[in-house]
Amino acid sequence: MGMAHRGRLNVLVHNIGRPYPAIFAEFEGGQKDEEAPGLDHDGTGDVKYHLGAEGAYLTRSGKSIAVALISNPSHLEFVNPVVNGNARARQTQRKTRDLYHDPSVCWPIQIHGDAAFAGQGIVAETLNLDALPGYQVGGTMHLIANNQVGFTTDMGDARSTQHASDLAKGFDIPIIHVNADDAEGCLAAVRLGVMYRQQFHRDVLIDLVGYRRWGHNEADEPAYTQPLMYERIRSHASVRVQYAQSLVEGGLLTEEAAGQRFEAAYQKLIDEQQSFRASAAKAAQSSPAPTRLVTSEAVSTDVPADRLRALNESLLTVPDGFTINPKLKRQLERRRAALEEGSGIDWGHAEALALASLLTEGVPIRFTGEDSERGTFSQRHMVLHDAKTGEVWAPIRRLPSALAGFEIYNSPLSELATLAFEYGYATAASDALVVWEAQYGDFINGAQVIIDQFIAAGLSKWGVTNRLTLLLPHGYEGGGPEHSSARLERFLQLAAEGNFRVANCTTPAQYFHLLRRQARRARVRPLVIFSPKSLLRLPQAASRMEDLTQGTFQPVLDDPDPGIVANPGAVRRVVFCSGKVYYDLLAEAGGRDRRPAIVRIEGLHTFLEEPVRTVLARYPSATEFVWVQEEPRNMGAWSYVAPRLALLLPAGCELGYVGRPERASPAEGYPEAHVEEQARIVKEAFGVNK
């Protein structure tokens, strides 16, 4: 279930079975029962009406239904796709090669506000997921807790439609309007909704039309803004009174018995509250022992050559009679030779081998994004289309030795709901590697709330984390202001206390080891990978078989140039960088006798000092140190790395900056201007200022 603040206590007590004393403890004792495992303290927590809860609803026949309420931020409605992703994970049997979904095991329920349902775009994005194969959950129950006002805003100012629920019409969702004063009518609406879901496995919506008896919150005076409405509400009998009256009129209850029931329920609350206060006064204050921040953890990610060969072969196998597009066939065939011939493994190839190897180790994988099946840059081709029949075949789903299931889907054209869905999925499936890919990283800010409120802060607020892995294509290649930057700076600003990992790899082998490490580490955390575009096929970036059969992800890559390796003592200048600009620097370095050492920081968060120290110790004669980036000075990694690197430099040395100056827009719109700026950056990196 996902919901906002209103009605939450009711849900906690009546649907999740949380006892009254636990509720009083949160309100009166200020106790929180969520911890943030792995932080160096127990998290900063959240206001109580945002915290999730798990419990059980006991039916009258004695059955127990597990109920989970998902933690949410103040940002109304953003929890909706998280709920569905979470439900999808619970519905998926993925510890088998031929994974399957069983929507009958879990039912997502979303409770909306009337103003928020009409106003927040994420609602429409979520409704659009209902029938998509990669996102189906067998139908969601939507309930609009419609009190006909949004804080102080009247309906006429909040939406252009007659009903709060009208958006759902566009998705052919059945809408049941029901008067919240009619208790039996409400139950009938719910039963109808349940039957619809059971029969048609699609979304259904109940528009529960009622009113808000008091103000928006404890401090609010509703008569300031809705005087006539509140005059009527004051003289309007409550649901309880109306329902009791109907039972009395029907001869099912006496007026006296109805009164006694109410008194007894109220007395129970008072008693529970008093006994809580008495016990709270006695209880000694004890604070939990702090959990320590763990910074590194060895995981082996190399794969033996014979296994890679076998996987490679399986990944190239299609059924008899399947016609691969001839152009593509040539490309794929190259992967056969690539394993054996020197440095021929490109990005897409390394990725396929990493994912396939994980499947054979029992790690389930879910991979989604806009056009991800083929890959935005035509680099992946994980799903093949028969050139004659259009039939699809994904060899990675048929690996003979796979012990877990693989899902890959082209997502709808959405960043917000799709990322939130994967966040929810990954949270309920910490056994799985869940990868979400942006078309270009630039579009990720369309999902900023999910990054800020869930991915970055969720662990500290709610103790919730996951293995969600983001692939954000990033790099300055003349594509203009919206095809260059995945806003590395934003992620690095949000990264703290090991809440998520940030990496920017420059070789397919590094990517291979990083993906495998992310899936296998015991310490569960999201990972943001700034993934490449031109490097996908750049020959200089390609890896060799032995890069995959040995080694592991290196957070820092020292300069492999033979001249520098042979004579590190001659190095006077050290250039630090991260990502694709390394290859621009390498191209310039090619024609020089003496050149700086170029050091790549590939693991940005958590920033590890030790590997940097080790590299610096190799260059005892160096006196000039610069950070080079493509991004403007107010963007990229500069603000994050500068203070960290500066601390590690030899005494008296400063870290210089080379990159674009401060800019309001991340990149140039004109390709010529881009080329000129890149050339200037590379020259300055080598100490040439003009």
Ligand X SMILES: Cc1ncc(C[n+]2csc(CCOP(=O)(O)OP(=O)(O)O)c2C)c(N)n1
By CB under 6 A, which span of 110-118, 173-181, 371-379, 474-482 interacts with ligand X?
Answer: 110-118
Size of the site for ligand X (CB under 6 A): 15
Q: How many CA atoms lie less than 13 Å away from 287 in the CB half-sphere?
A: 5
In the list 111, 115, 426, 635, the residue contacting ligand X (rule: CB under 6 A) is 115
Pick the closer one to ligand X by CB: 450 or 509.
450
Residue keyed to tokens 């750049």: 538
- For the bound state, the minimum distance from the C-beta of residue 472 to ligand X, rounded and expressed in Å, comes to 24
Closer to ligand X by Cβ: residue 158 or 519: 158
Select from 147-155, 240-248, 384-392, 672-680 the region that touches ligand X (CB under 6 A). Answer: 147-155
Q: What is the dihedral of CA 260, 264, 267, 268, to 10 degrees?
A: -170
Residues 6+ apart with CB under 8 A from 197: 107, 138, 139, 141, 204
Site residues for ligand X, 350-369, by CB under 6 A, read none
Out of 113, 222, 344, 395, the only residue in the binding site for ligand X (CB under 6 A) is 113
Closer residue to ligand X, CB minimum distance, 72 or 439: 72
Toward ligand X, which CB reaches closer, 448 or 549?
448
Exposed, middle or buried, 281 (CB in 10 Å: 0-12/13-18/19+)?
exposed
For residue 26, the 8-state DSSP code is I
Of 209 and 574, the one with the shorter C-beta distance to ligand X is 209
Quick one: 147 or 578, whose CB is closer to ligand X?
Answer: 147
Rounded Cα gap, residues 83 and 88, in angstroms: 9
Q: How far apart are CA 415 and CA 78, in angstroms?
A: 12
d(CA 589, CA 560): 12
Q: Does 201 bind ligand X (CB under 6 A)?
A: no
Residue 75 contacts ligand X per CB under 6 A: yes
Residue listed under structure tokens 């006429």: 156
Q: Tell me the window of 127-135, 143-151, 226-234, 259-267 that interacts with ligand X (CB under 6 A).
A: 143-151
Name the residue with tokens 């649907």: 15
Min separation Cβ 147 and ligand X, Å = 5
Residue 6 is a binding residue for ligand X (CB under 6 A): yes
What distance in Å separates the CA atoms of residue 379 and residue 372, rounded to the nearest whole number? Answer: 10
Q: Amino acid identity, residue 390?
A: G
Other CB atoms within 10 A of residue 187 CB: 11
Q: Give, to the nearest 10 degrees, the angle between helix 239-249 and helix 183-200.
A: 100
Helix (H, G, I), strand (E, B) or coil at 265: helix
Nearest residue to 378 via CA among 432, 333, 439, 321: 439
Considering the complex, what minimum distance in angstroms separates the CB of residue 4 from ligand X?
A: 6
Three-class SS string for 547-601?
HHHCCCCCCEECCCCHHHHHCHHHCCEEEEECCCHHHHHHHHHCCCCCCCEEEEE
Is 74 near ligand X (CB under 6 A)? yes
Least spacing, CB of residue 116 vs ligand X, in Å: 3
Which one among 140, 147, 343, 678 touches ligand X, defined by CB under 6 A? 147
In order of 13, 192, 282, 481, the CA distances from 278 in angstroms are 21, 45, 7, 62
Site for ligand X contains 151 (CB under 6 A) = yes
Q: Which residues pair with 282 in a beta bridge?
A: none
- Which among 38-46, 109-117, 571-579, 597-605 is the span making contact with ligand X, rule CB under 6 A? 109-117
Sorted by sequence, the CB contacts under 8 Å of residue 366 that are 6+ apart come out as: 94, 407, 408, 422, 425, 429, 432, 433, 434, 435
Rounded Cα–Cα distance for residues 136 and 631 (Å): 39
Kindly state whether residue 519 participates in binding ligand X, applying the rule CB under 6 A.
Answer: no
Question: Considering only 70-78, 301-309, 407-415, 451-459, which stretch makes contact with ligand X by CB under 6 A?
Answer: 70-78
Q: Does 10 bind ligand X (CB under 6 A)?
A: no
Closer to ligand X by CB, 215 or 473: give it. Answer: 215
Q: Is 76 in the site for ligand X (CB under 6 A)?
A: yes
> Which residue, 157 or 672, has its beta carbon nearer to ligand X?
157
Draw the binding track, 117-136, toward ligand X (x: CB under 6 A; -: no contact).
Answer: ---x----------------
Q: Which is nearer to ligand X, 120 or 484 (CB)?
A: 120
Site residues for ligand X, window 209-228 (CB under 6 A)? 216
What is the number of residues in the chain? 690
- In the complex with ligand X, the residue whose CB is nearer, 118 or 577, is 118
CA 449 to chain centre: 10
- Binding status of residue 114 toward ligand X by CB under 6 A: yes
Tell me which stretch binds ligand X (CB under 6 A): 74-82, 86-94, 643-651, 668-676: 74-82
Q: Give me the least distance between CB of 145 and ligand X, in Å please.
A: 6
The reply to whether 376 sits near ligand X by the rule CB under 6 A is no
Binding stretches for ligand X (CB under 6 A): 6, 74-76, 113-116, 120, 145, 147, 149-151, 216
